[in-house]
Structure 1
Amino acid sequence: MGEQGHGSRRSLAESSWGDPSDTMRPGAAQVHRFGWRRMALLTFVLLSVGAAALALLSDSTSPEWTPVREPENVRFHESRFDRKPDLFLSVSDPRVVPSSLATLNDDDEVLGLVVGDEERAYDVLALAYHHVVNDTVGGRPVAMTYCLICSSGIAFERECDGRALTFGYHGIWNGTAVLYDHQTDSKWLQISGECIEGSLKGQWLKPINCRHTVWSEWLAAHLDGTVMQTQREFADAYFPRSKTSRGNDFFPANFPSTMQYLDPRLPVSALCCCIRIGQETRAYPFSALAQLEGGVVNDVLGGTPVVVAFNGDTQSATALAREYNGETITFCRTADGYLKDLKTGQEFDLEGRPRNVEEASGLRKLYTLQSEWYGWAATWPETTIWNRARG
């Protein structure tokens, strides 16, 4: 019922909740058998799965669907938080090595970003424990963040209110990670970068486009970059790599009580490429993208023409604005993975850089991340869902 990633992660209704003796590595939550709250949640999901299957290819703006618009005092009620500050320890100014010296395997997952002329990848094995890495890339203060359970990774600029903040792990809200900043102890949603508590409440961190892919794909396009691998002082805290990949059949016992609302339009753990432009948000399910020849979607969101590129082999997706030199472009995919303008033949890589064109600006990057459906829908309850009928 769930999406296929690196291994099959089933929906919450199908997932194994584990045995009391099945624990993760130090600093992580223990998995327990069913309790009454989890049984109630399971019943809800089972009832919704049938509707979700039918809704997979339906437009979320259809009359059958009404988004839940909860007031703030309900949405951020204390009962929806599980607060365990620094249960996972963030890292600042991590050690990095040239990509040519990395010891990663081809299929190891990474989150990669390009800031200015600097390219950097982060081993998901390390991110899964730290949840946030306070770094400087291309001369800019950057926070690379990751939520292991909802498979969402996104980077933000750390500058806010005239200063550079550093972040740590605070807990979970609605089954997604919550961060705090060390300077003011304000609380921030990891998926959106919104400050929801503290003196900086109402501020938003500026997102930086990054790609969740495998090492071989990232390395092929970024040979001159650097990579953050595991940090030796945390060696005993890291989880086994098998528990950190997208698709793990795992849900900590402390999550369901915080997830008081689940959007039934897709399976809980369906992997999606998610985009936000202004106040408009949309999820592109991997299962739908996998049905497309070339894995390319030419779409419009928030008045902006966008292109989504999906690679079924690596289970990765990215999105860019499809406007170049004042023209709106319609793309297809080349055999070697580039985006090709159907009109002019000009090709672009997945960072939006034009191929064989020196000193030229590229396609604009967007607020894009990969996430499991429940995390994205909890953060953006009015999100639409792409379907083939759109384009």
Structure 2
Amino acid sequence: MRGFLLITGLLLLFAVEILRVYFIMPFPGSQQSNTIDVAYWLGKNITWLRILGLSLVLWPSLQIFLTKGKWKKIFLAAALLLYVVIFFFINFRFEADKMFYQPQSKIFASGATNKIADNKLVIGVAINGEAKAYPIQLIGYHHQVRDTIGNTPVMITYCTVCRTGRAFSPFVNGKPEDFRLVGMDHFNAMFEDATTKSWWQQATGVAVAGPLKGKALQELPSQQLTLAAWLSLHPNSTVMQPDTLYQKDYDDLADYDKGTIKSSLEKRDSSSWKFKSWVIGVAYNNNAKAYDWNKLVETSMIQDSMPGLPIIITLEKDTASFHVFSRSINGTVLQFEKNNDGISLRDINTQSIWNMQGACIDGMLKGQALQPVQSSQEFWHSWSTFHPATEKYEK
């Protein structure tokens, strides 16, 4: 009986510590299954499970140390020491918010004085006349940056393992909320709010576990493009600068933008429709569609329609900055073709000329602009996981 209690208690202690982190971190096999509810239950009941495990271990351990031989004492001491080591590393080294920190100081510079190269990718957000750019190399490490744009609180997020950049309003139930990085589910970052301890999915802003399960954060319009392209659209934008405390972490993501990073979780599949192939995802009125990045690079323009939404996707000359627009102007759906210069478009309806940023620069519609459609560039595994009914554009 004594041996049974000891073994059961040790197994419980080891299991709850390891599985609590295993289910929400990118360990082999941990991200393919729907185990989020189990992980959440373990996380919220870990204290009671530890007390139960220690209670089962305490009496037989005392008996062994008081009465048994040397080798049993050594083996038991080694097992307990191993548990202490695992407890320390899992709770103080392997938890997500112990590995990735928010910036200690947020410094923004004008486009002319900033230290970020023009060809680096940024997540750009413009609200109430104020624009800010957040380099992916920086926020990819931090995972989230809290800020204010145009007197509006924002939560800028990025998950490098999904290649997903999103901007959210941090308000929950009408109040600004604090979030911490808690782990990941299906390779996507999750945040825990401080008030209800619910877990929120970064790719969708939806709470996937906890009291607020099913609720969603409000997504704010954002763009992914090069800093140069963003500044051409918003010349007065400020740009987030590196926090020198995390320079080594930023350096580790130096090749992330181009997908040539060494990390197997973050490196791009260069062929199409593979696990980590790049796609552009568009979701509209409960419909979702994915567009192959390689196809866009090949053509520089994709023209398509989703239910209720005629769209055009354009790629700038830098082959990194993309835009998605509605093709509807004043109730008329425009049909586009490439212009002879190769860097602008012509609508067949009026023969007006449009740049790749969606502005009409010559012709009958000069001065008009196409309406942006929220979209994202991400890994195919991410888009297809979080939009399981997505359609693939394969023309």
Question: With structure 1 as the length reference, what TM-score do the two structures score?
Answer: 0.69
SS at match of 2:276: coil
Residue number in structure 2 paired with 1:192: 204
Residues 1:250 and 2:263 are matched in the alignment: yes
Residue number in structure 1 paired with 2:128: 116
Which residue identity does 2:263 align to in structure 1? F
Coordinate RMSD, CA, aligned: 3.6
Shift of 1:184: 2.9
Q: Is the 8 A contact 1:273 1:318 kept in 2?
A: no
Among residues 312, 317, 324, which one is paired with 2:322 in the alignment?
Answer: 317
Residues 1:341 and 2:316 are matched in the alignment: no
Deviation digits for residues 252-291 of structure 1 (CA, Å, limit 9, x no counterpart): 59xxxxxxxxxxx921110011110021111101112223
Shift of 1:76: 3.9
Quick one: distance in 1 between partners of 2:315 and 2:378?
Answer: 14
Residue number in structure 2 paired with 1:363: 370
SS at match of 1:170: strand
Residue number in structure 2 paired with 1:384: 391
Quick one: distance in 2 between partners of 1:351 and 1:221?
Answer: 8
Residues 1:240 and 2:247 are matched in the alignment: no
Which residue identity does 2:334 align to in structure 1? I
Q: Is the 8 A contact 1:87 1:169 kept in 2?
A: no
SS at match of 2:263: coil
Quick one: distance in 1 between partners of 2:343 and 2:219?
Answer: 25
* Larger Rg over CA atoms: 2
Question: With structure 2 as the length reference, what TM-score do the two structures score?
Answer: 0.68
- 1:34-45 correspondence to structure 2 within 5 Å: none
Residue number in structure 2 paired with 1:289: 296
Which residue identity does 1:276 align to in structure 2? A
Mean CA deviation greater in 319-328 or 84-93: 84-93
Q: Is the 8 A contact 2:25 2:184 kept in 1?
A: no
Give 5+ residue unaligned stretches, structure 2.
Answer: 1-23, 44-93, 267-271
Among residues 163, 181, 185, which one is paired with 2:175 in the alignment?
Answer: 163
Quick one: distance in 1 between partners of 2:342 and 2:104?
Answer: 36
The structure with the greater share of residues assigned to helix is: 2
Shift of 1:352: 4.6
Residue number in structure 2 paired with 1:150: 162
Shift of 1:83: 6.3
- 1:116-135 correspondence to structure 2 within 5 Å: 116-135=128-147
Q: Is the 8 A contact 1:143 1:158 kept in 2?
A: yes
SS at match of 1:238: helix
Residue number in structure 1 paired with 2:117: 105
Quick one: distance in 2 between partners of 1:304 and 1:30?
Answer: 37
Shift of 1:338: 5.1
Residue number in structure 1 paired with 2:333: 328
Shift of 1:207: 2.2
SS at match of 1:169: strand
Q: Is the 8 A contact 1:102 1:227 kept in 2?
A: yes
Shift of 1:331: 2.9
Aligned residues: 311
Quick one: distance in 2 between partners of 1:93 and 1:199?
Answer: 32
Quick one: distance in 1 between partners of 2:107 and 2:360?
Answer: 31
Which residue identity does 1:143 align to in structure 2? M
SS at match of 1:97: strand
Give 5+ residue unaligned stretches, structure 1.
Answer: 1-28, 42-69, 254-264
Deviation digits for residues 7-51 of structure 1 (CA, Å, limit 9, x no counterpart): xxxxxxxxxxxxxxxxxxxxxx9999xx7x59xx9xxxxxxxxxx
Shift of 1:321: 1.8
Quick one: distance in 2 between partners of 1:92 and 1:362?
Answer: 39
Shift of 1:363: 3.3
Deviation digits for residues 47-105 of structure 1 (CA, Å, limit 9, x no counterpart): xxxxxxxxxxxxxxxxxxxxxxx9xxx47454699963453123498321111211122
* Identical aligned residues as a percent: 23
Quick one: distance in 1 between partners of 2:134 and 2:182?
Answer: 21
Q: From the superposition, tell whether residues 202 and 30 of structure 1 become closer, same or farther in structure 2 (CA, over 3 Å).
A: closer
Quick one: distance in 2 between partners of 1:167 and 1:186?
Answer: 10
Q: From the superposition, tell whether residues 310 and 352 of structure 1 become closer, same or farther in structure 2 (CA, over 3 Å).
A: closer
Q: From the superposition, tell whether residues 338 and 153 of structure 1 become closer, same or farther in structure 2 (CA, over 3 Å).
A: farther
Among residues 259, 272, 280, which one is paired with 2:279 in the alignment?
Answer: 272
Q: From the superposition, tell whether residues 237 and 297 of structure 1 become closer, same or farther in structure 2 (CA, over 3 Å).
A: closer
Q: Is the 8 A contact 1:86 1:169 kept in 2?
A: no
Shift of 1:171: 0.9
SS at match of 2:389: coil
Deviation digits for residues 169-225 of structure 1 (CA, Å, limit 9, x no counterpart): 221111111122234322111111111122322222232332222222222332211
